[in-house]
Structure 1
């Protein structure tokens, strides 16, 4: 376990959040003679198949980013919007013309936390009142404005909005954008 994952696991444990131990699947690797080893078979027998996972297409990430940005502009607030996949990797990121530079990183951290914890950041902020460990997780912002993105009940990403005078407004812009997905 790396130092960062150990730190996150320790904070989560201190915060009372259940954690799961991840197992690794066998992967192909280079051998000393330069050939590539093949992955071990998962199991033998009929019925074995490779699973698929839902993902968030770029076109959808752009759509929700555009809508959240527009909602902010309509209310007179230049915001930054970041959409990440379920692993926290940026799919799309936008900054309004007059939004401050700090809003870019904060929007990412909100999206990353929402996808990583699979819950809105406003809920994480409330949880931090009794479990302050949430405030010490590097790269995560628990300020309101981060919302997980679900497809058929499965987390496929997160959206983070930053730049309005309150996190609640940021969250309103994110939620308004996500309503267009239904």
Structure 2
């Protein structure tokens, strides 16, 4: 029988703290969501001044990265490169800023960020993921 790693509250808190620090160091007001491998939110933090819609978008980015087992930038690139039909795909957020959390090559969760530019959202999400190695 195989064993499976998972995000504990310790890792979730470390991801949130690192992502928050990255955002605040840059003066960016964002929402950060950490999800499990099924895309279910484990934590959500909306920084002061961030628009309420970002909470929804960050959640969808985290969910899409977890379920798709890849960064959501890949979906955005696909659409931007002309595969517009992908916009109708169910359960996918086609916006950069969702990053999976990998352990031994397996996705154990994801981080979604929304509130600034797509590249900045991804920068924050990656900082969160990097906090747990």
TM-score for the superposition, normalised by structure 2: 0.91
Task: Name the SS for the 2:44 alignment partner.
Answer: strand
Would you say how many aligned residue pairs link Structure 1 and Structure 2?
Answer: 132
More helix by share: 2
Q: Determine which of 51, 54, 58 is the counterpart of 2:2.
A: 51
Distance 2:82 2:17 in 1: 35
More strand by share: 2
Task: Name the SS for the 1:93 alignment partner.
Answer: strand
Query: Deviation of residue 139 (structure 1)?
Result: 4.4
Partner of 2:109: 157
Query: Deviation of residue 175 (structure 1)?
Result: 0.9
Query: Deviation of residue 163 (structure 1)?
Result: 0.6
8 Å CA contact retained: 2:114, 2:121: yes
| Cα root mean square deviation, aligned | 1.4
Partner of 1:118: 69
Distance 1:114 1:134 in 2: 15
1:177 aligned onto 2:128: yes
Matches within 5 A, 1:1-182: 50-128=1-79, 129-164=81-116, 166-182=117-133
Distance 1:138 1:154 in 2: 23
8 Å CA contact retained: 1:58, 1:92: no
Report runs of 4+ in structure 1 exceeding 6 Å deviation.
Answer: none
8 Å CA contact retained: 1:120, 1:148: yes
Task: Name the SS for the 1:54 alignment partner.
Answer: coil
Distance 2:82 2:52 in 1: 32
Higher RCO (C-alpha 8 Å, min separation 6): 2
8 Å CA contact retained: 2:71, 2:98: yes
Task: Name the SS for the 1:82 alignment partner.
Answer: strand
Unmatched 5+ stretches in structure 2: none
Distance 2:43 2:85 in 1: 29
